[in-house]
Amino acid sequence: MNNTKRYNILRVRGDKISKDEDIVIKEYKLTIFVNGDEMTSLLCIPDSLENLVIGYLYSENYIRSISQIKSMEIDEGIGRAYIDLHDECDNIEKENIFSQNSKTQKIRNQKQIEIQEKTKFKINAIRELVNQFNKNSKLFTNTGGVHSCALCSLDDIMIFKEDIGRHNAVDKVLGQALKEKIDTRNKIILTSGRISTEILTKVSRREIAIIVSISAVTDEAIEMAKELNITLIGFARGEKMNIYSGFPSLKI
């Protein structure tokens, strides 16, 4: 399915108004059913839907490995994903599935994973990754309407995904990492979106040591990053960046 659509528009530039065509990002609703029950609906772009579903279930702690998924069927036409999980899913996960309302509160209660060993990095390595990251997004260049997320080693982008939702972009990346059995420890997450506790929770569950945003971070994300020994970087733009936690022994 295509992620964009063309529309006839009026383009205003200074004193000129002209009829023109514009490329617009698609908005797509995917409703997720687990073991026959409707769980949630995600507003997304119709791309990497399998990664999105796997990543969502994984990030929200409904599954811990890909083998817990018995079957998955995505009906793109009507925007529905049907997932059957194996019975051996433990209680925490079952509880999660059946109590959506207090989900946010649960995040805080669940055991967080503290980063044990600091990953050393050079500022210039992060700059180079951010540079690559910004060049990667053709969809953003075309439509200006998406967020990007990438999983990186210290010197390369391994997975790159986009979505209209910043949460979805992160889930797509983590979903593909799970499918490909990539060890996410000692890796870096880059995101174009603001880092709140919701995003940091998804990322910290994968024991990712370094998180970098092109835009802002929130106070609660800083507090959580300090607790968990995560290096949190914001406003990584050109020669600039702000390091909010996990101050490393830095080299340019």
- The stretch among 4-12, 81-89, 109-117, 182-190 that binds its own copies (CB under 8 A) is 4-12
Residue among 24, 22, 100 at smallest CA distance from 56: 100
Q: Which is nearer to its own copies, 7 or 76 (CB)?
A: 7
Residue 27 interacts with its own copies (CB under 8 A)? yes
Cβ partners under 8 Å of residue 234, min gap 6: 195, 212, 213, 215, 216, 217, 241, 242, 244
Each residue 161-180 as x (binds its own copies by CB under 8 A) or -, in order, gives: ---x----------------
Q: What is the DSSP string of 110-146?
A: SPPPPP-SPPP-BHHHHHHHHHHHHHH-HHHHHHS--
Compute the distance between CA of residue 110 and CA of residue 107 in angstroms, rounded to an integer.
5
- The stretch among 130-138, 169-177, 181-189, 219-227 that binds its own copies (CB under 8 A) is 219-227
Q: Which is nearer to its own copies, 85 or 139 (CB)?
A: 139
Half-sphere exposure of 206 (CA within 13 A, CB side): 31
- The stretch among 154-162, 183-191, 203-211, 216-224 that binds its own copies (CB under 8 A) is 216-224
- Stretch 61-120 residues interacting with its own copies (CB under 8 A): 100-102, 104-105
- Could you give the C-alpha distances from 190 to 24, 161, 200, in angstroms and in order? 24, 11, 12
Q: Which is nearer to its own copies, 165 or 176 (CB)?
A: 165
Q: Which of 52, 170, 222, 228 binds its own copies (CB under 8 A)?
A: 222
Cβ-contact 164, 25 below 8 angstroms: yes
Q: Which of 9, 76, 92, 138 binds its own copies (CB under 8 A)?
A: 9
Q: Which is nearer to its own copies, 71 or 105 (CB)?
A: 105
Q: Which is nearer to its own copies, 117 or 239 (CB)?
A: 239
Angle between helices 197-204 and 166-179 (to 10 degrees): 0
Q: Which of 12, 70, 73, 138 binds its own copies (CB under 8 A)?
A: 12
Q: How far is the CB of 105 from its own copies (least distance, A)?
A: 8
Query: Which pairing describes strands 147-152 and 157-163: parallel, antiparallel, or unpaired?
Result: antiparallel
Q: Which is nearer to its own copies, 79 or 185 (CB)?
A: 79
- E-strand spans in 50-114? 69-75, 80-85
Residue 133 interacts with its own copies (CB under 8 A)? no
Per the DSSP assignment, residues forming a β-bridge with 232 are: 211, 245
Residues at the interface with its own copies (CB under 8 A): 4-5, 7, 9-15, 17, 22, 24-27, 29, 38, 40-41, 43, 100-102, 104-105, 123, 143-145, 164, 194, 196-198, 215-222, 235, 239-244, 247, 250, 252
